Structure 1
Amino acid sequence: MKSVYFFLPFVCASFSLNAANTSIPMLDKSYQESSQQQEEPIFTCRTNQGKIIQLNKYDKVYIYRFGANLNNPELTLTSHIENIIKGVITKGAIEIKRFYELTSGNYTYNIFYTNPKAYDENGAEVFKNN
């Protein structure tokens, strides 16, 4: 069970889902060798502070990036699809919220977006685990 020692929400001012494919430099050698392949955008948003939150998928790996300039992000996390927790919250037959949860070291990153007809909240939450 995870305890919340540290919680840092990033609520987005604007976001897009499944944005057009963009070529983003990869960070490690295995990705560089496959750089001709493009990442599949899952979620992108800009925070009120002007930082960008981005979640992409490449083959069976999710890539999370955060920062003002994603060509040189402040934070990049990669996680195999088997290590990702994905979920959808519904109310009746209406999808309310969709989320992706990645864990890196002592931190868990919950990237989420909501149905604008139900709520208009999108972003990331960061939790420090025990």
Structure 2
Amino acid sequence: MKYIYFFLLLTAQAFQTAQSSELQNPIFSCTTETKKNIAIYKNGTTFTYSFGQSNQLPELTLTKSISNVKISINDLSGNELSNSISFPNGTYTYIVKSTINRVQDTQTPKHGVLIKKNSKYLSYIACTPDSEQGSLLDLE
């Protein structure tokens, strides 16, 4: 009986560790020019958007179920191809996106977060080049 209890305890701890590490390792992250981090975490059927200074509590964290986010993969708009995930928050929407100009000879991806209020675009916060880790393709 002691061994069964010990085994169940170890299994529960391993499961909890796996969930914790999944939340600690974003599926996508990048850094802005102002040294803020943009990150997306996936935990089962929920996604979390996080924005804020490194090694501090985030300024904004939004956790949404998969049914409450909009995921767009390979969205064509003019010359651009983009992947994005949109996090609604009341009248605001935070859209983390990666775009690439598909007709340029040198294709350099751009990453960042687009902020909307209702249907009006308020701001775009770009990631610094080569700061991204992970991929928005991992959203599927």
Q: TM-score, normalised by structure 2?
A: 0.58
Taking only the aligned residue pairs, the percentage that are identical comes to 31
CA radius of gyration, larger in: 2
1:106 Cα offset (Å): 1.2
Q: Which one of the candidate residues 56, 67, 70 is aligned to 2:41? A: 56
1:115 Cα offset (Å): 4.2
Aligned length: 95
1:118 aligns with 2:103: no
SS at match of 1:82: helix
- Residue deviations 1:12-61, cap 9 Å, x none? xxxxxxxxxxxxxxxxxxxxxx8531236221010111100001111111
Q: Which one of the candidate residues 31, 38, 42 is aligned to 1:46? A: 31
- The whole-number CA distance in structure 2 between the counterparts of 1:86 and 1:67 is 22
SS at match of 1:41: coil
SS at match of 2:27: strand
Which structure 1 residue ranges, 5 or more long, are not aligned? Answer: 1-33
Preserved contact between residue 35 and residue 54 of structure 2 (Cα < 8 Å): no
Preserved contact between residue 65 and residue 73 of structure 1 (Cα < 8 Å): yes
User: What RMSD, in angstroms, separates the aligned Cα atoms of the two structures?
Assistant: 2.6
1:72 aligns with 2:57: yes
Q: Residues 1-130 of structure 1 correspond to what in structure 2 (within 5 A)?
A: 36=17, 37=19, 38-39=22-23, 41-69=26-54, 71-88=56-73, 89-90=75-76, 96-115=81-100, 118-129=107-118
- Residue deviations 1:46-90, cap 9 Å, x none? 011110000111111100100113541111001100111111224
1:69 counterpart letter in structure 2: S
Which structure is higher in strand share?
A: 1
Q: TM-score, normalised by structure 1?
A: 0.62
2:57 counterpart letter in structure 1: N
* Greater relative contact order (CA < 8 Å, ≥ 6 in sequence): 1
- The whole-number CA distance in structure 1 between the counterparts of 2:16 and 2:60 is 20
1:108 counterpart letter in structure 2: T
Which structure is higher in helix share?
A: 2
Preserved contact between residue 85 and residue 102 of structure 1 (Cα < 8 Å): yes
SS at match of 1:118: coil
